[in-house]
Chain A
Amino acid sequence: MTDLRMPNPVAAPSRSRAEERNDSSATDAPVGSVSGEVSAVRGYLLSRGNSAGSDRFFAGAMLLCALAIFALVALIAVELMTQSRLSWHAFGFSFFYKFNVDPITHLPLFWDPVNGVFYALPFIYGTLVTSLVALCIAVPLAIGLAVFLTEMCPLWMRAPLSFFTELLAAIPSVVYGLWAIFILVPLLREHINPVLMAIFTEPGLTHLLGWTGLFGDNGLFGGVNLGLGLLCGGVILAIMILPIIASLTREVMRSVPNSQREAALALGATRWEMIRMAVLRNARIGIVGSVILGLGRALGETMAVAMVIGNSPEIHLSLLSMGHSMASVIANEFSEATSDMHRSALIEVGLALFLVTIVVNAFARILVWAVTRGAPARVQ
């Protein structure tokens, strides 16, 4: 009894509304569109009836949410520009390449908030060098990991390994920084840097390759070994961007159709030849895209770098020297900036970072999209 009665209150009005719509579509809608595309009929039906008003309101609200994303990016850009106007007017483009010379020590002077000197060159240098070091370490490892996971790994290991790499991505950057301060810095100082210094200041090599400028006491690994510095920042960045590059590279490699692999194997290729000819060659644009995406992440990474880079606005060739990156200088000095000019200069550094990461990310997205777009649907 109840079973029969239950559906009635719900079914009755809906049926009548449905009939109403049917009638109106039968009388008003052009016949051609009915047989053609479903969405046109649905669109027509939805524009009629009691709920059209609330439907339109709902669609508008959702559109507003989507437009809010536009508005936010625009707002961030406008806000950064207006807040950095002061330093832009004072320094112009020379903000990014000029420097003063200290009258006493005759060393270049880039950044001196007390005396109102603000030139951003050392931060750009620090960001570029740490990102480059990170890419040099992370890219081969990430590609190796991705190759192993997609092509060689026994099935039972695949899930735990990919879970592990995902976990690596979930660890907050401040925790990486904490680990770097207490483990990585001593490790570099005691064990790794001395080896690198010994190699790069070895007299024979210095004599042979001294013309590159990378060897000797003023070379890539000269100077004082404190553990902190550009190299340490680069290493911790490498650990942080590895999971991103690895997972995207895996994604791109998986979108290479299996028939390509089978064709290579059928021609008698060994596994490595198959990977090189069928997988890596087909996926190379996507791999470049994922590397650039990792670069975008490395450029903007703040906390871990700020904790180990040494925080001094200078430029030295040595990777063991202290440095400063664009993000780390903002993190370190922003809340203590007292003068308007100091704050404005920091915001200008932020604006530059914003623009650079947008360009880098957009480029990488386009590359990744270009590769995965034509990929057939994966069957899993």
Chain B
Amino acid sequence: MNRNRGRNLRSLWRSGVDHLATGLAILATILVVAPLIAIFFYLVYKGASSLNWAFFNQIPKPEGEVGGGMANAIVGSAVVLLVASLFGIPIGIGGGIYLAEFGRGTKLANAVRFTADVLNGVPSIVMGIAAFSLIVVPMHHYSALAGGVALGIMMIPTVTRTTEEMLLMVPHSVREAALGLGVPNWRSVLSITLKTASPGVITGCMLAFARVAGETAPLLFTALGNQFWSVSLNHEISALPLQIYNYAISPYDDQHRQAWAGSLVLIALIVIAVSLVRFVTSRGTLKGAS
């Protein structure tokens, strides 16, 4: 009898702990998702109410004046990101091809893979210092080129690792079929393997692009920012995240408004990139595989 009651109490206690743990996990989920929803909706609300045409086709007004826009920052971001992509994506894909096709299982490949992971973890501000001392110091002035290279270096590890993973998923039979038909190896890698894996590789590139598109820290002392039109690689250039940062810490209400609008545009660009990736990859990754 006594023993029975003890067992009942014990099972009550156990199911109580079980319910408590479930409740805590649900609470944690709510606590994580709630700020996100708050951030997201507040951003959309503030950004949408501050967007206007002037934002897209005017350059900034002098400090303290109302109006103006971020046209130069949008174009500047495009220029810097173009430089970054041209620098980072070919090297990244090349590294991925080496890891998957030529260096498979070698010590060198493991070392490269590890280095890429390390590079992935280097803080973006350190990348800014590196680009500063590699490009800005020898050239004696800030430039869009330096900003682009800083972002390009940050793209490399992501592109390399996703390219490698996607190439490894291509079945051997595809490669062997190409080689069996007498296609030279380089051609088979480029036109057969890489092409089969292309949805995944493009995903990797877009993810890397989305990641660096919002980076501010590496641009602070490489691209520096610019209040006027500039598309030259040789001069200071403005970028969307830089402009948001400058406006966010400024004392003027109108600049705060534009910072919210800029954030909305930036997030929209990134979300479009990410969901484009989801769309492309959901249409059947690796048609050759499996």
Contacts and interface: CB of A to CB of B under 8 A. Distances in A.
Interface of A: 13-18, 21, 38, 42, 45-46, 49-51, 54-55, 57-59, 61-70, 72-73, 75-76, 79-80, 82-83, 140-145, 147-149, 151-152, 161, 164-168, 170-179, 181-183, 239, 242, 246, 270-273, 275, 293, 296-297, 299-303, 307, 327, 330-331, 334-335, 346-347, 350, 353-354, 357-358, 360-362, 365
B241 interface: yes
A362 B118 contact: yes
A44 B2 CA distance: 80
Q: What is the predominant secondary structure among interface residues of chain B facing chain A? A: helix
21 contacts: A21-B182, A42-B176, A55-B185, A57-B186, A62-B102, A63-B103, A65-B95, A72-B119, A73-B119, A75-B130, A76-B127, A80-B126, A161-B29, A172-B213, A172-B267, A176-B39, A302-B217, A327-B217, A347-B129, A353-B123, A358-B118
B81 interface: no
B184 A152 contact: no
Among B92, B156, B185, find the residue whose CB has the most chain A CB atoms closer than 10 A: B185
B98 A66 contact: yes
Contacts of B185: 46, 51, 55, 58-59
Interface stretch (B15-23, B49-57, B62-70, B196-204): B15-23
B112 interface: yes
A80 B130 contact: yes
Given A18-B180, A148-B25, A152-B25, A246 B118 contact: no
Contact of B214 (A62, A65, A67, A175): A175
Given A63-B102, A69-B160, A327-B217, A178 B248 contact: yes
A69 B116 contact: yes
Nearest to A153: B29
Contacts of B127: 76
Interface of B: 14-15, 17-18, 20-22, 24-29, 31-33, 35-36, 38-40, 42-43, 90-95, 97-99, 101-103, 108-109, 111-112, 114-130, 132-134, 137, 153, 156-157, 160, 172, 176, 179-187, 189, 210-211, 213-217, 220-221, 224, 241, 244-245, 248-249, 256, 259-260, 263, 266-267, 270-271, 274
A66 B248 contact: no
A172 B270 contact: yes
Closest 8 CB pairs of A and B: A172-B214, A300-B123, A144-B28, A65-B94, A51-B184, A58-B186, A361-B121, A14-B182
Given A167-B271, A270-B17, A272-B17, A335 B220 contact: yes
A355 to B, nearest CB: 10
A287 to B, nearest CB: 14
A181 B181 CA distance: 63
A149 B30 CA distance: 12
B95 A66 contact: yes
Given A66-B99, A66-B103, A80 B129 contact: yes
B226 to A, nearest CB: 13
B270 A299 contact: no
A171 to B, nearest CB: 6
Contacts of A75: 130, 134
A271 B22 contact: yes
Nearest to B215: A172
A176 B266 CA distance: 12
Given A152-B25, A172-B266, A175-B267, A14 B183 contact: yes
B118 to A, nearest CB: 5
B248 A76 contact: no
Contact of A73 (B101, B115, B211, B270): B115
Given A170-B271, A174-B214, 6 more contacts: A141-B32, A144-B28, A172-B270, A300-B126, A327-B217, A350-B129
A141 B22 contact: no
Contacts of A350: 125-126, 129
Contacts of A293: 121
A141 B189 CA distance: 44
B206 to A, nearest CB: 11
A59 B188 CA distance: 12
B123 A152 contact: no
Nearest to B93: A65
Nearest to A55: B185
A63 B125 CA distance: 28
A177 B245 contact: yes
Given A270-B15, A302-B124, A76 B27 contact: no
A172 B214 CA distance: 5
Given A62-B102, A148-B28, A347-B133, A357 B220 contact: no
Contact of A331 (B26, B97, B217): B217
B123 A171 contact: no
Nearest to A138: B32
A330 to B, nearest CB: 5
Contacts of A178: 244, 248, 259-260, 263
A170 B179 CA distance: 41
Contacts of B35: 239
A146 to B, nearest CB: 9
B214 A173 contact: yes
A357 to B, nearest CB: 6
Contacts of B28: 140-145, 147-148
B137 to A, nearest CB: 8
B250 to A, nearest CB: 11
B216 A354 contact: no
Contacts of A354: 122-123, 126
B230 to A, nearest CB: 17
A365 B114 contact: yes
A152 B28 CA distance: 13
Contact of A171 (B39, B119, B215): B39
